[in-house]
Chain A
């Protein structure tokens, strides 16, 4: 294709480059020009953003109360010893 454009198939490969701000300005322009008319790629891009956003809310790895207690005890011991 002699038209300078990014196709949908290419876009899904470079979407992370775009989100990371790692596209040279001329490529980024082509990327945005494509998203401006292609609602499907816009959906894909939005879904990527959503995925990242939800991933950022994962919290289930809180320390158990037992571990917290163990850490506190260790801290107190250390504190007592080094004084």
Chain B
């Protein structure tokens, strides 16, 4: 099954700190104590935004199950190809889009969150900073309307997937 995965520089998994092998070589969670409890995670395009890190990869999973909407866990996975479009420039575009999307109609606390997002957007890069802007913007959305946080994160993910050409993988 095809999915997407963000990794730290050098193909390093953000939580387990495991280095993924080169593309096409399988990574097996079962043989590794650091992975076997959590398994291998990947996301579908509509859940991209919260997981941003420096590298974005197309991955293939073996025996994947849904852990939560759009979040897959599998015992085996392999990298297929990097999403070249993902870099500091597109990350900044993303951050700006997130901030802009919550400017209109924001008042009171929502406006404060939106201002935080706007201020951070200019410094955002392909590391965690881009998703921090998204997080702030999502809080602005929540302040405008309950339930707005997750809806906003979804919007952000879809925007990003489309921008990077990975809406259908």
Contact = CB atoms under 8 A, between A and B. Distances in A.
Interface of A: 2-4, 21, 25-26, 28-29, 32-33, 35-39, 42
B37 A37 contact: no
Contacts of B82: none
Nearest to B53: A36
Nearest to A33: B50
Nearest to A18: B15
Residue of A36, A38, A42 contacting most chain B CB atoms (<10 Å): A36
Interface in B105-160: 128, 131-132, 134-135, 138-139, 142, 146-147, 149-150
Contacts, number: 41
B68 A26 contact: yes
Contacts of A39: 128
B26 interface: no
Given A26-B68, A29-B68, A36-B131, A3 B142 contact: yes
Given A2-B146, A3-B139, A21-B38, A36 B71 contact: no
Given A36-B50, A36-B51, A29 B67 contact: yes
A35 B149 contact: no
Interface string B1-30: 000000000000011000000000000000
B74 interface: no
Contacts of A26: 68
Given A36-B128, A37-B135, A38-B132, 13 more contacts: A2-B147, A3-B139, A4-B150, A21-B37, A25-B67, A29-B67, A35-B15, A36-B53, A37-B52, A37-B128, A38-B128, A39-B128, A42-B128
